[in-house]
Chains A and B, each alone.
Chain A
Amino acid sequence: MNHDTEVLEVFEARAQRRAERRDFLKAFAMTAVAGGGLAMATRIPRADAQATLTDGDVLNFALNLEYLEAQFYSYAATGVGLTPDLLTGTGRPGVALGGRQVAFSDPAVAAYANEIAADEKAHVAFLRNAIGATAVAQPQIDVSVSPTSAFSNAARAAGLIGAGASFDPYASDENFLLGAFIFEDVGVTAYKGASPLITNKVFLEAAAGILAVEAYHAALVRTTLDVKGVAMPALIDATEAISNARDSLDGSTDLDQGIRAIGNASNIAPLDANGLAFSRSAGQVLNIVYLNKAAVTAGGFFPNGVNGTIVTSAAN
């Protein structure tokens, strides 16, 4: 299709600039790199059968991600998950397993968690309402802390923990912030990548509004890690490691940055050389939440997969 070609070309041009900025970043700083290494795929996995997708398909895909974020923050902030009336719908219903309340030591971080939890819950409610009767049910979600949990697998892929160890995002302010960091930038890239797929202008503007909110959240989490990283540099290293782990899953283009300063400037906003946020296709987003660089339909934070028509991660 004409449009896909056009977009692809733009993406490829950007990927090059990105790589340049990223190379600079790497040369400047990187030490402890993630395990798996970068995938060697040369093709940009820009979605399968996009032409047949409806706005409902795209919004339902987003709804799955919002369930995940909302449940994580809801448990972390309040100790309880979303109310059952926000979880029903089409597809295979599941439960969110293993979340619990964080005993925050910094009251500001607790206030942040409360704010983000409320926003994500509002996103779930809004999308369910916008989609109507065809809204998908919450799928099975793994927000647990066992050594084989999604969080632990993600942290292990980033080199933050060793074999057999657990990563508990509810154990401390710092772990909570890193747990949040795993999701936040991904939401931004997902909504940006989906923006040209939405045809209805009202939905488009609403999605732009959610995109903005996810970027505000991401900046909140990144800024807070930046501030705490002054006294605890391991936090900065951890963001780079998580970023690299995400990059190892979603194909050969570099769509991700930690928060290490670039020269004498901070790096709160992860952007390409044009100052634009990155995009991920739905398949690339699923690579990250399934924690799998192959084309699969379940895994990681969604042990039984997501509900809806967009269910398969990209083949990287």
Chain B
Amino acid sequence: MNHDIVLEVLGACDKRREERRAFMKNAGLAVAGATVLAACSNNDGFGSVVTPTPSPTPSPTPAPTSSDQDVLNFALNLEYLEAQFYSFAANGTSIPISLLSGTGTPGAPSGGRQVTFTDPAVGRYAREIAGDEQAHVAFLRSVLGSFAVAQPALDLSADVNGAFSTAARAAGLIGAGQAFDPYANDQNFLLAAFIFEDVGVTAYKGASPLITNKTYLEAAAGILAAEAYHAGLIRTTLYRKGLAMPSLIDATEAISNARDSLDGSSDLDQGVRNIGNASNIVPTDSNGIAYSRSAGQVQNIAYLNKAAVDRGGFFPTGVNGAIKLSAASA
């Protein structure tokens, strides 16, 4: 199978990644994610190549092959999440209800609200990304037609037990019993966006070899590029603001490490801290190439769970479609 070749290459890449990452760790990390980092080191079985695949697993709806529809529907779930987060943050409202119907269990987004932006530029960025993500939802739905999945339940809340707070707590940004409110100010909004953005890039890259239809492939490449533009925008803005507020840089490293602690032993993630005299706006391996995540690894992060489960975190009742399970990355 072609996919095995991909696994081998990924295995080789993991090694280089770890080299660059080792350099990064020596170069800088200090405070914020110290405990998380320690946890990572324990979990990192260097040399063991673990790239869990979104393979068919016991499920009420058997999905023998990851057809293009399954892959695009998986992406649609993620786009619902991103689109609703940015739509509430930028506009205080949901994306149009006409964009939410479909197969599976429909759900509602809970807890999102408008940010009162201090920096007008950040407000403009939020509105741009909100428009783009809504366009992605509409585009994928039009491509999938009657096969499109419905929006599942989404947890966008600022509750103490909400997904954002759980993610921020895992990163060491807040303590036990505290809440992380992504809508409280520009900085929190940017960090919340940071939680998602690079993940989208790795998800579309990881899915690229699974898409067989060339038209869909090129479209997916176009969404991949859009997600990378967004991620570059968010990271550049955090980097720039981090010059005056270094805790923002620490926070990106802590979130990155928290993500890494969820998705298996390979290091697929980087914050924005300088490496030597260079910035680190672009998270890449030593070949200058962006990382890939399998669908299962993406679900580890979206569900905030390193075990194989079918719901949790930002998707309290799981995603819709054939690709549901997170990888067993523990």
Contact = CB atoms under 8 A, between A and B. Distances in A.
Interface of A: 3, 6-7, 10, 108, 110-112, 114-116, 118-123, 125-126, 188, 191-193, 195-196, 201-202, 204-206, 208-220, 222-224, 226-227, 230, 261-262, 264-279
B217 A195 contact: yes
B229 A114 contact: no
B209 A201 contact: yes
A209 B128 contact: no
A213 B282 contact: yes
Given A192-B218, A216-B281, A275-B135, A209 B290 contact: yes
Contacts of A196: 214-215, 217-218
B128 A118 contact: no
B223 interface: yes
A227 B121 contact: yes
Nearest to B3: A201
B138 A265 contact: no
A192 B221 contact: yes
A205 B237 CA distance: 28
Interface string B31-52: 0000000000000000000000
B225 A212 contact: yes
Contacts of A204: 208-209, 217
Given A3-B214, A122-B286, A216-B228, A269 B233 contact: yes
A7 B225 contact: no
Nearest to A123: B288
Contact of B127 (A214, A265, A278): A265
B100 interface: no
Given A125-B287, A275-B134, A277-B221, 8 more contacts: A108-B240, A122-B286, A192-B222, A216-B290, A227-B240, A272-B222, A275-B131, A279-B218
Which of the listed residues A3, A218, A269 has the most CB atoms from chain B within 10 Å of its own CB?
A: A269
A216 B288 CA distance: 11
A50 to B, nearest CB: 11
A72 B215 CA distance: 33
Interface in B192-215: 201, 204-206, 208-209, 214-215
B65 to A, nearest CB: 15
B228 A202 contact: no
Interface stretch (B55-63, B147-155, B271-279, B308-316): B271-279
B24 interface: no
A69 B274 CA distance: 22
Contact of A277 (B130, B134, B222): B222
15 contacts: A10-B215, A10-B219, A118-B278, A118-B288, A126-B289, A192-B221, A205-B6, A206-B287, A218-B229, A220-B281, A224-B236, A271-B222, A275-B139, A276-B219, A277-B222
